[in-house]
Structures are given as C-alpha cells and as structure tokens.
Amino acid sequence: MQKQIHIISTGQQTKELFIEKIIAIHEEIDFIHIRERSWAVMEVIDTVNILVQFGVPFSKIIINDRVDIAASIHARGVQLTSHSVSIDYVKKHHPNLLVGSSVHSVSEAIDKEKAGADYLLYGHIFKTDSKKGVAPRGVDSLMTIREQVSIPIIAIGGITPDTVPAVVQAGANGVAVLSGILLEKDTVEAAKKYKQALEGLQ
C-alpha cells in the first residue's frame, strides 16, 4: 500500500488557524484527524463543514473518539482510544467508517486487530515534547508489532522527515504528525518534506 501521512490536530491552535493550515496542506497529506478534546460538538462539525467547502474531501477526515460525530458528518473514519466505544460496536452500527485504534503494546495491537480494527496508530516512537518524562518505544518495538499483525500500522511520536525511513523500514505503513507540520512556520513546506521522504520509499 502507499505510505500515508496522517495529520493530527495539536490542541494548541484556534479553530481558525487549524482550518487555514489544513486547507493549505490537504493535497500533500492523506488523512486529517480532528482531536480537540476542548471543542464543543458544533465546533468540530463547523470545522469539517468549512474544510469541505474549501475542497478538503470527507474521505480524508477522521474524528477522534466521537463515533457519533464521525457518522453524522459522513467522515471517512474514527480514531478510537482506550476509553472509546468498542471496535465491535462501531463495526456493527457504522460499517462504513474506517476504524483506527491507538495502541501502545504488542498485546494491544494483536487484540485490536482481532477485534476488527482497520489500522493501528502506534507510538510514541521517538522522544517528543507531548510525552515528556515518558520513554519512547523506539523502532525495535514497532518492528516487533509488525511481525505480529497484518493490518496497517501508522507510527506516531517525534517523527521527522529524516527519521521517516527508519520507521518505514521497521514496518510502518505511514506516519502521523502533529507539531512537525502544524506548528511549523511554513506548514506547506513542512508537509512537502514528509511527503517527499515517504515517496522516496514507495
């Protein structure tokens, strides 16, 4: 499969700035995760509607945790966490949604694949400011998970364009990025660097 870039909202930007940046870079990326725990439901829905008005396809939009929102706006998928509803529930009631599951261990990865997840979000791979004081899991652990599951794995956590080859070689089918793109001054250039790094490995 083609290697993917997943953008995840940072929780550090206004709705307006997030929208501006996504509109600028959406052609360079594959999926946009809206993970804003402090936003009201209508803020998420309004954001998606504005993005779509400016040409961002529904097929790129993934909603974090809130299955109800993802289903109601016809988003491409939902990203489930440890406190979310079960994968079985989503598959039964919303079979058209792509279901991603965030995992942090081999056993979790195996369990979520068995439960029917379409892909896994695994990390954090490298040291990152968003996980201060928590040791990174590294590419060796990613390689171990790759040996145990067959569904796509998206690596997350401190990944730069320079380290993209290492995570792909360890078995990742793509990378998820937050600050490395969205908090960069030149967001478009940053997105292009990740895309070029992945394209060089296709």
Mean pLDDT for the stretch of residues 138-155: 97
Question: Which residues carry out catalysis?
Answer: 124
Domain of residue 104: give its range.
4-199
Provide the CATH number for the domain around residue 19: 3.20.20.70
Condensed to tens digits (0 to 9), the pLDDT of residues 85-97 reads 999 999 999 999 9
When divided into structural domains, the chain yields a total of 1
Q: What is the pLDDT of residue 134?
A: 75
Work out the average pLDDT over 98-102.
Answer: 98
pLDDT tens for each residue of 158-192 = 999 999 999 999 999 999 999 999 999 999 999 99
- What long-range pairs does 113-116 form, CB within 8 A, spacing at least 24? 113/149, 113/150, 113/151, 115/86, 115/87, 115/88, 116/87, 116/88, 116/91
